[in-house]
Amino acid sequence: MFTYKFRMNFEDQEGFSRDIELRTDQTFLDFHTVISENLALDPATECAFFLCDHRYRKKKQIHQHKPENPPRKEEDEDNPVPARLYMEDCVLSDYIDDPHQKFLYVYDLRREWTFFIELARISRAAAGTDYPRIAGSVGGIPIEISRRPIPIPGELDDDDDEHADDEENETMLGSDTEGSSVFGEEDMDDMDDSGFYDDSIEISDDLDEGKP
């Protein structure tokens, strides 16, 4: 089994990035889950992935929630085409056709908080490791989009409430002490296409055999 490593950056916060690893047979719903859990995003807020070209121009949208009876385009017997793509149906390996494949992850489709995602490397899955996982973390959670605890009325006085807010902001803005410099040897800044293609050539046959 092989894995994809993706680098994710946030458009409105410099110094923020996440390295995320998923198995090639996992779905965009798995991808969404690991992002939302790591950033403490509100699960009730609508979000989506967008398949992009090399300049991050949107091509297709992958929707979060699949209705019970999704609408379909006109279809023929040989080639039924779904009207929409849904995270739970979309396996990652079916949408990777470029060594630097790019996606957008948009949280809150009304406000469009946008994360830029790029494929960094394909490698063998580590034995005993659970995927998806956060492989590298730099910068605090973007506080303007993350959920905050709602204080219970009467539990804190004004001074304590102000102090609690200060502690919360410090926590959410602080860097990950264990992961602040964790990117491993495959830092995307040090990659070149030749290294990627060498790996890709060696594993291409195995990837084809491992597809469900």
The CATH number linked to 96 is 3.10.290.30
Q: Which residues contact 87 (CB under 8 A, 6 or more apart)?
A: 27, 28, 29, 31, 32, 49, 62, 63, 64, 66
What confidence score (pLDDT) does residue 79 get? 60
Q: Taking a C-beta distance cutoff of 8 angstroms, is the pair 46, 108 a contact?
A: yes
Whether residue 160 is contained in a domain is answered as no
Distance CA 50, CA 58 (A): 6
pLDDT band at residue 171 under the 50/70/90 scheme: very low
Distance CA 95, CA 8 (A): 17
Whether residue 203 is contained in a domain is answered as no
Distance CA 158, CA 140 (A): 26
Most confident of 62-76, 81-95, 172-186: 81-95
The count of structural domains within the chain is 1
Say whether pLDDT at 69 is over 70.
yes
Domain containing residue 62: 2-147+178-192
Say whether pLDDT at 101 is over 90.
yes
Average pLDDT over residues 174-192: 42
Higher pLDDT, 47 or 142: 47
Quick one: which H or E segment has residue 173?
helix 158-173
Q: Taking a C-beta distance cutoff of 8 angstroms, is the pair 19, 7 a contact?
A: yes
Say whether pLDDT at 185 is over 80.
no
Q: Is the pTM of this model over 0.75?
A: no
Angle at 76 between CA 72 and CA 82, to 5 degrees: 25
Whether residue 141 is contained in a domain is answered as yes
What confidence score (pLDDT) does residue 44 get? 86
Whether residue 164 is contained in a domain is answered as no
